[in-house]
Amino acid sequence: MSSSWTLPDDLEPAVRGENFPQVGQPLPQHWAKCFGCGDDQPAGMRMSFVAGEGAEVTGRLYVDKKYQGGPGVIHGGILSTAFDEAQGMACLSLGSGVVTGHLEIDFARPIPLGSVLEIHAQIDGTLRRKVYTSADARIVEGPDADPDVVVGTSRALFVKIDAAHFEHVKKYVDGAPTHPALITSP
């Protein structure tokens, strides 16, 4: 199934922030307790990311058996979370934090447990505070591995925020955001 998603005609190209890691360099997690990438989240997915060209990132996810939906395959909500995380990480290349405004997924093929997914995410353009992104997933290791076959795609709209957006929740969580785009300057 394909979406009717269309990009605005007046999109501006993404401008990579000067503090974003260089091509091939690992990206820091944006918050240690993030379900998608945090290393201080016992139940989390612990995705890892590297910077790509321009406003692009590549993420990896091991499809653990705890992510099972149907028999022997990933749950669609886990794949949705992985796409959300990857596209959000691409947005950090702009040098500001974002929140998800809209996310849609096209599931193309079943993804077996024990696979390693690689998700390539990019910013398609910006319009004021809106950031339009797209991503695709491929199985690069494990059962049915074929890096040439896209097993899912996603499109999303993110909205730029400043660090003050998270001020109201600080009293409920331990730790602070760790990604520079989410830290308020003095």
Q: Which residue in 59, 120, 54 sits closest to 93, CA to CA? A: 54
The SS3 of residue 39 is coil
Distance CA 113, CA 143 (A): 8
- Only one residue has tokens 């040098």, namely 95
Number of CB atoms found within 10 A of residue 154's CB: 25
Nearest CA to 80 out of 138, 145, 155, 142 is that of 155
The half-sphere exposure of 139 on its side-chain side, counting CA atoms within 13 A, is 19
Greatest C-alpha distance within the chain: 51
The CA distances from residue 67 to 47, 49, 50, 150, 160, in Å, are: 13, 19, 23, 20, 30
State yes or no: is 174 an active-site residue.
Answer: no
Active-site hit among 84, 106, 136, 174: 84
Task: Please list the active-site residues.
Answer: 84
